[in-house]
Amino acid sequence: MTITERILSGIKQTLETGEKVTIDLREASAITGSGLNVGGRTHFDEAFATLRYANPFRQGARNIKVPGNSAVQFVAKTGNAANSTNPWGYAINPNSGSPNIDTSIWQLPTRVITAQMPVRSAVLSDVNGLQDELVEDLMMEFAQLEGASCGLNNDQAGSTTTSTGGTDGLRGLNSYPGAAGAAAAFGTSGTAITNGLHTIRTVGYNNTGGLEAETLSAMANALPAQYWSMPGTAWMMHPTAIQTLRNYAHGGGGYSFIDVGSAEAGSLLHVFGFPVIPNPYLDATGTVGCKSMYLANWPRFMTIADVEEMTVQAMEQTTPGFVTMYAEKRMVSTVRDVFAGVRSIET
């Protein structure tokens, strides 16, 4: 009988009889050999898990729920409806846009993350709050896995990126095409897995020997002005890139990176008025510690679609003395409005 059960039983007894009841809270552990004596009389504090770094893309991206279908399709309206040569007056000029109105579509299959966790029944009965903590930490573990896949996975290559999912994973931002100087463009239209590979507007580092303020200025300049004042426009950088910028001094000390007008800029919480979101799930390789970083209006630039139902199930006695917890989560991530974001890479 657990401590809680003993207390409730004692309360019930005193309510029924009106007598004083002594409740013995000393309890032998269900785990043989734990504690000082055989069988143990160990106090188990509330279980806890160290804090994981959840998926930072969700802080800015558009998050939607979708039914439990096997795929999600995205549609973008492109082109113009009005006659750009002379749109004034009452004349009707169909199909006279420049370019004409059109749509671009792409379809992505829902991807699944699964986990199986065997736990000794004796441990669950001894450690206070362990089952709840296991479930909470498992959800955070899923958030870590999806964050890495959202940033780094290449869904076109199964052999090189299996740790982030490979062909079974999400379409990571860094896998989208776009060399230095590339302009933004929608990918090919269709329902194949090779469609929807948009070209992201990409800026090369101003100085190949280091990350400079000029690179960030070029990125801000490359982001179309209509996105500048929209809620949700922010930088995402690897923590190492933030450290590099904090230590930055141009030309061996000519000037340091200071965003004048922002009291928080000294700690790189804002750059050029846009907030900075630390994101460890961006590529941290390269001579300056950050191969890629992004400036985007994230609610338009990126969409994360979660299947409405998520499974968490405890299956008892799958192995004698153990409870096995099973969890499953399905989702999709994609660049939606490719013009709403800019990327920099080390060249």
Q: Map 8-59 to HEC letters.
A: HHHHHHHHHHCCCCCCCCCCCCCCCCCCCCCCCCCCCCCCCCCCCCCCCHHH
Determine if the peptide bond prior to 224 is cis (ω within 30°). Answer: no
182, 200 contact by CB (below 8 A): yes
In the prediction, which pLDDT does 123 show? 73
Nearest to 238 by CA among 181, 174, 143, 164: 174
272, 216 contact by CB (below 8 A): yes
The better pLDDT of the pair 48, 24 is held by 48
Task: Tell me 128's DSSP state.
Answer: T
Q: Helix, strand, or coil here: 119? A: strand
Segments in the chain forming alpha helices (H): 3-17, 57-60, 121-126, 130-152, 213-222, 239-246, 298-301
Instruction: Write out pLDDT tens, residues 201-229.
Output: 998 876 655 677 888 889 999 999 999 99
311: exposed, middle or buried (Cβ count in 10 Å: 0-12, 13-18, 19+): exposed
Instruction: Write out pLDDT tens, residues 97-109.
Output: 788 888 999 999 9
Average pLDDT over residues 247-257: 63
Nearest to 216 by CA among 225, 226, 206, 208: 206
Nearest to 58 by CA among 303, 328, 308: 303
- Domains of the chain, CATH where assigned: 1-43 (no CATH), 57-62+106-345 (3.90.1690)
What average pLDDT is seen over the chain? 81
Average pLDDT over residues 172-200: 92
Per-residue pLDDT at 76 exceeds 50: yes
Instruction: Write out pLDDT tens, residues 256-314.
Output: 665 544 545 456 788 888 999 999 998 755 545 456 789 999 999 999 999 988 887 77
Q: Among 192-206, 253-267, 331-345, whose mean pLDDT is lowest? A: 253-267
| Cα Rg of the chain, angstroms | 27
